[in-house]
């Protein structure tokens, strides 16, 4: 029987409270504090599937809402509030699973806000950051300014990227990772876009891609 998901709530500050989903398999070896992207919340099917696949490879997950998503607003919160939410979620994860190694990150914007928080001040007990589609630049506007803060992140980082990701041209991301040196690991999914949808010509199914993402994260965590 697959492990069940617990619904939780936690305070970001005295005025803001958000919800979270904890999937903690009994054989978990680590816990991933997993933030959602800009346009979809923690219950998006992509994150639901990723959490289940991670549980299958002994990685627990704590998914959580940013305040704007919790309040059903379209525009993301200011970065300061997004980063405060990241910190509060990491604190909740430490409370819920104090004996498990922590990693943090997320899908697109959620991963970038996690890295910005970690660059500003180390996230307590977090051993590494994992980015499921790092949004290096807006589509059609290539650049690397969004990666400047990564130089101030002191823990290992895993970049999971597709070759068709319009938010991160690989010819720009590869030098960014190279500059970060041994702290950065880049894992490329052939023909995947920003949502990790692959072309039929790849010969791969969506399920196989999700399994690869989960297995790559699980293997990487054991090395850091």
Q: What is the pLDDT of residue 19?
A: 98
- Between CA 88 and CA 62, with CA 159 as vertex, the angle to 5 degrees is 30
Task: Using alpha carbons, list the distances in angstroms from residue 202 to 24, 45, 132, 143, 190.
Answer: 33, 22, 20, 28, 7
State the Cα torsion 162-165-169-175 to the nearest 10°: -40
- Mean pLDDT calculated for residue range 21-34: 97
% of the chain exceeding 70 in pLDDT:
99
What pLDDT, in 10s, does the model give residues 50-71? 999 999 999 999 999 999 999 9
Q: What is the pLDDT of residue 2?
A: 65
For residue 44, is pLDDT > 80?
yes
Q: 83 and 113 in contact (C-beta within 8 Å)?
A: yes
- Mean pLDDT calculated for residue range 16-44: 97
What pLDDT, in 10s, does the model give residues 76-85? 999 999 999 9
Second CATH level (architecture) for the domain 5-221: 3-Layer(aba) Sandwich (3.40)
What pLDDT, in 10s, does the model give residues 85-115? 999 999 999 999 999 999 999 999 999 999 9
Please give the mean pLDDT across all residues of the chain.
Answer: 96
Task: Using alpha carbons, list the distances in angstroms from residue 45 to 13, 41, 51, 52, 164.
Answer: 28, 10, 10, 11, 21
What pLDDT, in 10s, does the model give residues 162-216? 999 999 999 999 999 999 999 999 999 999 999 999 999 999 999 999 999 999 9
Task: Using alpha carbons, list the distances in angstroms from residue 126 to 1, 93, 132, 145.
Answer: 29, 10, 17, 25
From CA 142, how far away is CA 90, in angstroms rounded? 31
Q: What is the pLDDT of residue 3?
A: 75
Q: 109 and 38 in contact (C-beta within 8 Å)?
A: yes
DSSP assignment of the chain equals -PPPEEEEEEEEETTEEEEEEEE--TT--EEEEEE--SSS-TT-HHHHHHHHHHHHTTEEEEEE--HHHHTT-SSPPPHHHHHHHHHHHHHHHHHH-TTS-EEEEEETHHHHHHHHHHHHSPPTTEEEEEEES---S-TT----GGGGGGGG--S-EEEEEETT-TT--HHHHHHHHHHHGGGEEEEEETT--TT----GGGT--HHHHHHHHHHHHHHHHTT-
- The 10 Å Cβ neighbour count of residue 199 is 13
pTM, rounded to two decimals: 0.96
Q: What is the pLDDT of residue 4?
A: 82
For residue 1, is pLDDT > 70?
no
From CA 187, how far away is CA 216, in angstroms rounded? 8
């Amino acid at each position: 029987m697959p492990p069940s998901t617990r619904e939780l709530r936690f305070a970001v500050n005295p005025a803001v409270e958000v919800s979270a989903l904890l999937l903690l398999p009994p054989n978990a070896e680590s816990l991933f504090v997993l933030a959602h992207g800009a346009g979809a919340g923690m219950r998006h099917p992509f994150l639901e599937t990723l959490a289940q696949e991670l549980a299958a490879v002994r990685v627990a997950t704590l998914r959580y809402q940013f305040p704007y998503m919790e309040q059903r607003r379209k525009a993301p919160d200011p970065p300061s509030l997004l980063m405060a939410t990241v910190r509060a979620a990491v604190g909740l994860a430490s409370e819920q699973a104090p004996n498990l190694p922590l990693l943090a990150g997320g899908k697109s914007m959620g991963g970038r806000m996690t890295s910005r928080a970690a660059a500003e001040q180390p996230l307590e007990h977090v051993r590494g950051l994992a980015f499921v589609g790092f949004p290096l630049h807006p589509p059609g506007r290539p650049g690397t300014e969004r990666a400047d803060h990564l130089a101030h992140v002191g823990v290992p980082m895993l970049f999971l990227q597709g070759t068709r990701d319009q938010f991160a041209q690989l010819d720009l991301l590869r030098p960014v990772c190279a500059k970060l040196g041994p702290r950065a690991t880049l894992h490329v999914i052939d023909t995947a876009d920003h949502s990790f949808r692959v072309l039929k010509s790849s010969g791969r199914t969506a399920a196989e891609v999700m399994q690869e993402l989960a297995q790559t994260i699980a293997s990487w965590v054991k090395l850091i």
